[in-house]
Amino acid sequence: MDETKAENAAAAQQKTVLVGVTGCVAAYKACELVRALQKAGMRVKVVMTEHATHFIDPLQFRALTREPVGLGLFDNPSDPIHHISLASEADVFVIAPCTANVAAKLAWGIADDLLTTTALATTAPIVIAPAMNVHMYENPATQRNLRELKARGMTIVEADAGYLACGDVGRGRLADPEAIAQAVIAAANPKRDLAGKRVLVTAGPTREPIDPVRFITNHSSGKMGYAVARAAVARGAQVTLVSGPVSLEAPAQAQVVPVETAAQMAEAVKARLAESDIVVCAAAVADARPAAPADHKLKKGRDDDALSRIDLERTEDILAYVGAHATPGQVVVGFAAETDNVVENARGKLERKKADLIVANRVGGGHTFGKDDDEVTFVTAAGAEAHPLQSKDAVADELFDAVAALGAQR
């Protein structure tokens, strides 16, 4: 019964994003945007202009979203006022790519198809990601229209510069879908309680060299730490992300400090600790490293002794350092990846490391590592609070709710 209630609550909190796709070569990138938004735990529906259907088949979006795709004002017989129902349903309306033509229509209040009538009817936040030829983009009329839309409160995700489909080089290329997704997440999340705060996040694994070729590492994908960074950005924080080696796109507004080893990560954290209001240690830092890494590749036969026996030494405990050196008012969050006695071990870690909050999760057996979702327990001095299986972005958002509650108790 409790699980059913949790599922219903999660469904009620899920945001609906309406993705508007216009007639542009970059229309195919809207598929990447849809997937990014879905990974963030959002329900996605798509509305297309007629010209957009010449660049990408609506069936693609229907397959991705498992939702009907809006095409025309009268294409839903069961809903005679389709643009009003779509407008009411959306928590955020993002138009990506947005052509110069559609930007002009929005600026001047022209509503002559399903997409533009829906945009005019919605009260939800609107995010615009323009894409077009460089000369069209730089045209004073286009720039005036974009300024007008921004002045009305719409979020403009500026086009990138580079090689364009038409062969020209310059600004006009659709922004990275991940950057657009972050703008949508921020628009969907009215919480700006971290505005003015500085958040330091560690993420990913570390690599401890055995020789110039081999290293010791772990299964961490970095997804949880990157979700934490995204959530902090969406809530208005100035974010520094100290990241081990991962294959993830960082939030566009975060400052990323790439590192490889535990020692490098410790150095990066120490250098930024004093200026941080919140520190979230989500990285899976190696507990040990080879005491004497070889300066050459260890070879079979020649280096058998070195390969069969690798002496290890402890790495510095970054979370313990942060907890010991935290100043009054700083909030320290750590993670506990456990295979057994998850909550009990997290409580011990909370006390030993002098943290304010430990996010405990079970690892092994297909849990956590590399997944897009997680089931965690928040452990504080006041007790333990279980959170059901949900996206890591949702976990990250709830983490900052817990941080806010801790701050209110001080």
Active site residues per annotation: 166
- Residue 290's CB is within 10 A of a number of other CB atoms, namely 18
- 228-265: b (≥16 Cβ within 10 Å) or e: bbbbbbbbbbbbbbbbbebebebbbbbeebebbbbbbb
- Residue 36's CB is within 10 A of a number of other CB atoms, namely 21
Task: Give alpha helix (H) positions in 326-391.
Answer: 342-352
- Going through 339-382 in order, the beta strands assigned E by DSSP cover 357-362, 373-380
DSSP one-letter code for 70 = B
- 155-171: b (≥16 Cβ within 10 Å) or e: bbbebeeeebeeeeeee
- Residue 300's CB is within 10 A of a number of other CB atoms, namely 7
CA dist 261 and 263 (Å) reads: 5
- Cβ atoms of 180 and 224 within 8 Å: the answer is no
C-alpha dist (Å) from residue 90 to 14, 21, 123, 222:
11, 15, 9, 31
